[in-house]
């Protein structure tokens, strides 16, 4: 119970920071102050809050859970590729968007697209697709909150109640503090979970009697040695994952965050330190996730390993429902929590639990971003701001925050997928495929609104198609994928245990490439915006 | 020339991420417990940070900031 009390104290502290930010706000009824902290964030807050915004439950729970089942490959799949691609896109795209926002007063990506391509309703289509894709990200946070509080309290706080508490706390400080509150809380949280990784590694390592013996024992065991290599994942799948981090800059909450910097110089530290921050968080989590396989004195871990074993040996003869059930039992999203409970002293488990909560609660920025987008791209754009004024616009944003949190919570209670799968399959792939819009808007004079529309519609259809396909064709047992369509002996479409493969790649690869191609071809054959508009974006 | 070298460095680092040469082996265990494949990817992250430092130093889009400063001073002048 002590860890749960520490976590509740942490939640209270976070709530206080959000409300304190509300008191510090100078223009409570001004949209730019509430949604963008008046474009005034300093270098330290900018670096940590931007990084924290990108680190969700996924970073700690998802990474260690994935590593528990798949081994060290998890780090190369998501962390190191993100360490290159994300800062690179912030450097190339984030700085330019910041400059345009400062110059022309943009507060959302859709505002920029509408101006850049002289469009109105096409902007609304982009808003809808962005909003629908952002929702899973928010759900992940609430699901992670429920799982974490449930595990930390030893089952005393049920999953539904844990999720409700996290949803309420996040909703409250976003409601009151807006971007300023969110940024301060994110900074506090990032510092916490940067400390988390190192402390967890040292404490658990010492309690397990050092990692040397554990690693050597795993290497000697035929059942576990593959977890220390990458043989469970194909090189094509590994390559596909480098496309996923393209989603970061296309996520509206990241792009909107780029608008909050006081000066462009603040991007410098963010870009340079981003890969190191990822390293500091992911390396311990992935390593601990792999090492959790040696903690067989923990009954829950033994149960997960047994489920994994049964799935591998008897999965082929089971019904799809039984396989899904076993897959859920084998998922290790809570292994890091179990390690803490077993190997860390109670008070430290509480502190470390708070660190995990910090990562879990990064959903705040997504909620605020959705609210900003709704009030700017829909409410203000369709005349609400002109008719009712800016104060009503901010109030509308706050009501929207309450509504969206309630919807996300309701879905989180029913969603059956593991945290990791849900995030990857829908939100990340969809946003990665929207990134060509940003590149075209900022770097290609010849891009048009019709190109943007074609790419956006493609992304929406592709996400739906993947979801329908995976629903219609059940996931096979671990091993070779189920071939659904081949052409001249080449595998075109197959259902893998973890999702879908197109020519052996994850769907994100064709999604991004076709999106870019459509943007290019349709722009070539449609009329361009006026020269004066293009000159605004390509003056130098 | 400087820009070309930086583009080459970015592409080379991206290619180096696909380290198929450590795919099926955990040997050697660095420090006695870190599989070589994981150690390599950790070093890759450090290299990415160094590359970002190079980009910031040699390809920083300072003209964007100057444009804003100029338009702000023009606005103030107009007032």
Beta-bridge partners for A205: none
**Chain A with chain B: Cβ pairs closer than 8 A:** 132
Element (H or E) spanning A500, and its range? Answer: strand A499-502
Longest CA span, chain B: 69
Model pLDDT for residues A188-244, shown as the tens digit of each residue: 888 877 877 778 888 888 888 888 888 888 888 888 888 999 888 889 989 999 999
A 10 A CB-CB count for A327 gives 22
* Under 8 Å between Cβ of B9 and B59: no
Distances (CA, A) of A397 to A75, A168, A195, A281, A394: 37, 16, 34, 33, 5
Distance (Å) from the C-alpha of residue B37 to the closest C-alpha of chain A?
A: 7
State how far the Cα of B35 lies from the Cα of B29, in Å rounded to an integer: 5
Model pLDDT for residues A482-523, shown as the tens digit of each residue: 899 988 888 899 998 878 999 989 999 999 999 999 999 999
pLDDT score for A58: 65
Q: Which two tokens stand for residue A419?
A: 């945290």
Compute the average pLDDT of residues A318-337.
Answer: 82
Interface contact A229-B35, CB threshold 8 A: yes
Give contacts of A264 with chain B, Cβ < 8 Å: 61, 64-65, 68
Interface contact B38-A278, CB threshold 8 A: no
Beta-bridge partners for A505: A502
Of the ranges A148-157, A289-298, A480-489, B15-24, which one carries the lowest mean pLDDT score?
A148-157
pLDDT score for A302: 92
Q: Which of A332, A343, A408 is nearest to A370 (CA)?
A: A408
pLDDT score for A432: 95
Q: Does A418 have pLDDT greater than 60? A: no
Q: Which of A78, A80, A61 is nearest to A292 (CA)?
A: A61
Interface contact B61-A80, CB threshold 8 A: no
Give contacts of B53 with chain A, Cβ < 8 Å: 272
Of the ranges A257-266, A318-327, A411-420, A455-464, which one carries the lowest mean pLDDT score?
A411-420
Chain B residue at shortest CA distance from A101? B68
What's the predicted TM-score (pTM) here? 0.91
State how far the Cα of A19 lies from the Cα of A9, in Å rounded to an integer: 15
Compute the average pLDDT of residues A38-56.
Answer: 83
Chain A residue at shortest CA distance from B35? A228
State how far the Cα of A404 lies from the Cα of A306, in Å rounded to an integer: 39
Is residue B7 less than 8 Å (CB to CB) from chain A? no
Question: What's the N-to-C CA distance of chain B in angstroms?
Answer: 43
Interface contact B68-A75, CB threshold 8 A: no
Beta-bridge partners for A490: A487
Choose, out of B34, B35, B60, the residue to mutate when testing the contact with A (most A CBs < 10 Å).
Answer: B35
* Under 8 Å between Cβ of A422 and A142: no
Mean pLDDT of chain B: 90
pLDDT over 90 percentage in chain A: 38
HSE-CB of A164 using CA atoms within 13 angstroms: 6
Chain A residue at shortest CA distance from B68? A103
* Under 8 Å between Cβ of A30 and A326: no
Q: Which two tokens stand for residue A167?
A: 């949803």
Q: Does A480 have pLDDT greater than 60? A: yes
Gyration radius from chain B CA atoms = 21
Q: Which of A454, A461, A463, A455 is nearest to A429 (CA)?
A: A463
Q: pLDDT class for A320, splitting at 50, 70, 90?
A: confident
What SS3 class is residue A232? coil
Fold of A2-25+46-434: Sodium/glucose cotransporter (1.20.1730)
Q: What share of chain A is helix, strand, coil (3-state, %, to 5)?
A: 80, 5, 20
Give contacts of B33 with chain A, Cβ < 8 Å: 210-212, 214-216
Element (H or E) spanning A491, and its range? Answer: strand A490-496
Distance (Å) from the C-alpha of residue B4 to the closest C-alpha of chain A?
A: 15
pLDDT score for A94: 96
pLDDT score for A420: 45
What SS3 class is residue A118? coil
Is residue B68 less than 8 Å (CB to CB) from chain A? yes
pLDDT score for A330: 85
State how far the Cα of A349 lies from the Cα of A342, in Å rounded to an integer: 9
State how far the Cα of A357 lies from the Cα of A60, in Å rounded to an integer: 10
Give contacts of B22 with chain A, Cβ < 8 Å: 229-230
Q: pLDDT class for A530, splitting at 50, 70, 90?
A: very high
State how far the Cα of A35 lies from the Cα of A368, in Å rounded to an integer: 7
Following CA atoms A109, A114, A120, A124 in sequence, which dihedral angle do they give, to the nearest 10 degrees? Answer: -20
* Under 8 Å between Cβ of B26 and B36: yes
Distances (CA, A) of B67 to A41, A63, A89, A413, A485: 21, 42, 21, 50, 53
Q: What ipTM was predicted for this assembly?
A: 0.95
Q: Which two tokens stand for residue A463?
A: 């996400």
Q: Does A470 have pLDDT greater than 70? A: yes
Interface contact B65-A263, CB threshold 8 A: yes
Q: Does A47 have pLDDT greater than 70? A: yes
State how far the Cα of A83 lies from the Cα of A76, in Å rounded to an integer: 10
Distance (Å) from the C-alpha of residue A213 to the closest C-alpha of chain B?
A: 8
Interface contact B60-A268, CB threshold 8 A: yes
Is residue B1 less than 8 Å (CB to CB) from chain A? no
- Beta-carbon contacts of residue A64 (< 8 Å; ≥ 6 apart): A285, A286, A288, A289, A292, A332, A333, A335, A336
Model pLDDT for residues A346-370, shown as the tens digit of each residue: 777 777 777 777 766 777 888 899 9
* Under 8 Å between Cβ of A245 and B48: no
Give the residue, A356 or A249, on which the prediction is more confident. A249
Q: pLDDT class for A28, splitting at 50, 70, 90?
A: low
Q: Which two tokens stand for residue B42?
A: 């950790």
Distance (Å) from the C-alpha of residue B36 to the closest C-alpha of chain A?
A: 8
Of A84, A229, A271, the CB nearest to B13: A84
CA angle at A540 for the pair A534 and B4, rounded to the nearest 5°: 115
Mean pLDDT of chain A: 87
Q: Which of A79, A146, A52, A30 is nearest to A364 (CA)?
A: A52
Interface contact A287-B34, CB threshold 8 A: yes
Of B23, B32, B63, the CB nearest to A212: B32
Distances (CA, A) of A124 to A109, A111, A129: 11, 10, 9
State how far the Cα of A182 lies from the Cα of A186, in Å rounded to an integer: 6
> At which residue do the structure tokens 């950790």 appear?
B42
* Under 8 Å between Cβ of A458 and A515: yes
Residues 25-64 (B) with a CB less than 8 A from some CB of A: 25-26, 29, 32-35, 37-38, 41-42, 44-46, 48-49, 51-53, 55-56, 60-61, 63-64
State how far the Cα of A376 lies from the Cα of A378, in Å rounded to an integer: 6
- Beta-carbon contacts of residue A293 (< 8 Å; ≥ 6 apart): A68, A218, A224, A227, A301, A305
User: DSSP states of B1-45 as a string?
Assistant: -HHHHHHHHHHHHHHHT--GGGTT---S-BTTTB-HHHHHHHHHH
Compute the average pLDDT of residues A521-529.
Answer: 96
Sign of CA dihedral A269, A275, A278, A283: negative
Model pLDDT for residues B18-35, shown as the tens digit of each residue: 988 888 888 889 999 999
Following CA atoms A236, A240, A241, A244 in sequence, which dihedral angle do they give, to the nearest 10 degrees? Answer: 180
pLDDT score for B38: 95
């Amino acid at each position: 119970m002590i860890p749960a009390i520490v976590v509740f104290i942490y939640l209270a502290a976070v709530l206080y920071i959000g409300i304190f930010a509300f008191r510090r706000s100078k223009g409570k009824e001004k949209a730019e102050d509430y949604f963008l902290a008046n474009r005034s964030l300093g270098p330290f807050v900018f670096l940590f809050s931007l990084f924290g915004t990108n680190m969700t439950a996924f970073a700690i729970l998802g990474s260690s859970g994935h590593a528990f089942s798949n081994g060290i490959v998890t780090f190369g799949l998501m962390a190191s590729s993100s360490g290159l691609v994300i800062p690179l896109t912030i450097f190339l795209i984030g700085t330019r968007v910041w400059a345009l926002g400062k110059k022309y007063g943009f507060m959302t990506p859709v505002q920029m697209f509408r101006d850049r391509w002289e469009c109105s309703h096409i902007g609304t289509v982009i808003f809808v697709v962005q909003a629908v894709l952002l929702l899973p990200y928010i759900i992940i946070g609430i699901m992670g909150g429920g799982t974490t509080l449930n595990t930390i309290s030893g089952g005393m706080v049920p999953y539904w109640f844990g999720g409700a508490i996290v949803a309420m706390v996040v909703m409250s400080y976003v409601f009151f503090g807006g971007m300023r509150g969110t940024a301060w809380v994110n900074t506090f949280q990032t510092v916490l979970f940067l400390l988390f990784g190192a402390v967890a590694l040292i404490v658990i390592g010492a309690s397990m009697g050092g990692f040397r013996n554990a690693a050597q024992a795993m290497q000697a065991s035929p059942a576990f040695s593959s977890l220390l290599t990458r043989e469970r994942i194909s090189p094509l799948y590994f390559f596909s994952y480098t496309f996923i981090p393209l989603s970061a800059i296309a996520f509206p909450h990241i792009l909107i965050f780029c608008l909050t910097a006081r000066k462009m110089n603040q991007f410098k530290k963010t870009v340079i330190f981003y890969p190191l921050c990822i390293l500091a968080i992911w390396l311990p989590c992935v390593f601990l996730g792999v090492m959790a396989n040696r903690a067989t004195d923990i009954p829950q871990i033994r149960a997960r390993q047994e489920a994994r074993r049964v799935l591998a040996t008897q999965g082929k003869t089971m019904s799809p429902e039984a396989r899904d059930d076993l897959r859920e039992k084998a998922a290790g999203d809570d292994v890091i929590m179990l390690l803490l409970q077993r190997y860390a002293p109670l008070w430290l488990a509480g502190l470390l639990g708070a660190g995990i909560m910090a990562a879990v609660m990064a959903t705040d920025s997504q909620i605020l971003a959705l609210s900003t987008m709704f009030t700017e791209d829909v409410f203000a754009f369709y005349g609400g701001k002109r008719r009712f004024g800016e104060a009503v616009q901010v109030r509308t944003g706050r009501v929207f925050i309450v509504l969206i949190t309630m919807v996300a919570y309701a879905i989180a209670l029913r969603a059956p997928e593991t945290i990791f799968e849900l995030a990857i399959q829908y939100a990340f792939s969809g946003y990665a495929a929207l990134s060509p819009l940003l590149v075209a808007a900022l770097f290609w004079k010849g891009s048009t609104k019709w190109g943007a529309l074609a790419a956006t519609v493609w992304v929406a259809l592709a996400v739906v198609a993947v979801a329908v396909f995976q629903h219609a064709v059940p996931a096979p047992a671990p091993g070779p994928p189920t071939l659904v369509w081949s052409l001249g002996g080449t595998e075109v479409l197959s259902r893998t245990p973890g999702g879908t493969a197109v020519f052996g790649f994850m769907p994100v690869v064709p999604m991004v490439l076709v999106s870019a191609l459509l943007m290019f071809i349709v722009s070539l054959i449609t009329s361009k915006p006026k020269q004066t508009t293009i000159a605004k974006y390509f003056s130098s | 020339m400087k820009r070309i070298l930086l583009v080459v460095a970015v592409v080379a680092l991206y290619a180096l991420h696909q380290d198929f040469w450590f795919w099926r082996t955990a040997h050697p265990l660095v420090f006695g417990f870190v599989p070589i494949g994981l150690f390599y990817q950790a070093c890759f992250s450090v290299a990415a940070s160094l590359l970002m430092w190079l980009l910031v130093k040699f390809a920083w889009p300072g003209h964007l900031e100057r444009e804003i400063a100029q338009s702000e001073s023009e606005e103030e002048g107009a007032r």
